Amino acid sequence: MRIATFNINGVKARAQTLQSWLREDAPDVAVLQEIKSTDGAFPRDLVEDEGYTLHTHGQKGFNGVAFAAKIPLEDITRGLPGDDADEQARYIEATAIGEAGAVRICGLYLPNGNPAPGPKYDYKLAWMERLETRARAMLAEETPFLMTGDFNVIPQDEDAAAPAKWHDDALARPETRAAWRRLCNLGLTEAFRTRHPGQPGHYSFWDYQAGAWDRNDGIRIDHFLLSPWVADRMTDCTIQTEMRGREKPSDHVPVWLDLDL
DNA sequence: ATGGTTGGCGCCCAA
């Protein structure tokens, strides 16, 4: 089973990119963030014409997450538990059925949190606590699962080309990294860093501004966290860097997880 | 310290 996470930064602006990517790279499940579209306004044809089934959790203008899958997905749920007043569309879950078993896939667009400190940062930290609570629940019931998406977290300095300029940013502040470590320390495996230990220079996001891509001034913020059963079945995790150099790119690139499943 | 760019919306916000 090949799963890819991709923050597309607007489905209307990325329609052709998304369709040709599905056709050529053909993930079994594509986990999408920042569709920036309501469910009704999503151009479904571009996904369905490639043989994919689409499940969206959309919102007008901002946020929005989705699955596009060519294998069966069951029991889709929308929204992160823990705050009934939260109206932001940032979380979706589904169970993917593989040949050797099922895995619960949690697709997420974690809040950016800037400016920090402030109410947006408080929302980010509260959201991370809710995510930890959700992970604890699935571990307790021994549901094999993975969490993937745009975490808006730079886990360590080696995950940024210029780490110092991020130290006061919501993506790398000490409280953010502490919340990230609490999540990992439940017993989850961070797929990319486990497959590529100690290797700097691997990023998944480059700002549109100030020629960040041309200078390779990137950060690694799109991740996979795996429960133990899923981690045992990982065969690879890679970043599709070349996508950032194409015409009209997203500011993020896809990250791929290969499972023997 | 500032400004640089993109997307979606609607005369500015989020990233």
pTM, 2 dp = 0.98
- Element (H or E) spanning A256, and its range? strand A255-259
Q: Judge if the beta carbon of A164 is closer than 7 A to nucleic acid strand B.
A: no
Q: Shortest CA distance to A110 belongs to which of A137, A138, A135, A129?
A: A129
Q: Which nucleotide is nearest to A15 (CA to C1')?
A: B7
> Where residue A163 falls among pLDDT bands split at 50, 70, 90?
very high
Please, which pLDDT band fits residue A97 given cuts at 50, 70 and 90?
very high
Residue pair A41/A71 in contact (Cβ under 8 Å)? The answer is: no
Q: Among the residues of A66-118, which ranges form H helices?
A: none
Q: Is any atom of strand B within 7 angstroms of residue A64's beta carbon?
A: no
Q: Where do the domains of chain A lie, and which CATH numbers do they carry?
A: 2-259 (3.60.10.10)
Reported confidence tier of residue A91, pLDDT bands at 50, 70, 90: very high
A52, A30 in Cβ contact below 8 A? yes
In the set A57, A91, A121, A150, the catalytic residue is: A150
> In the prediction, which pLDDT does A63 show?
98
Per-residue pLDDT of A5-41, as tens digits, reads 999 999 999 999 999 999 999 999 999 999 999 999 9
Q: What is the pLDDT of residues A231-257, one digit of tens each?
A: 999 999 999 999 999 999 999 999 999
- What value does the mean pLDDT of chain A take? 97
User: Which residue from A60, A61, A66 is spatially nearest to A48, judged by alpha carbons?
Assistant: A66
Burial of A42 (0-12, 13-18, 19+ CB in 10 A): buried
Who among residues 176-235 of A has its Cβ near strand B, under 7 Å?
Answer: 208-210
* Whether the Cβ atoms of residue A247 and residue A1 lie closer than 8 Å to each other: no
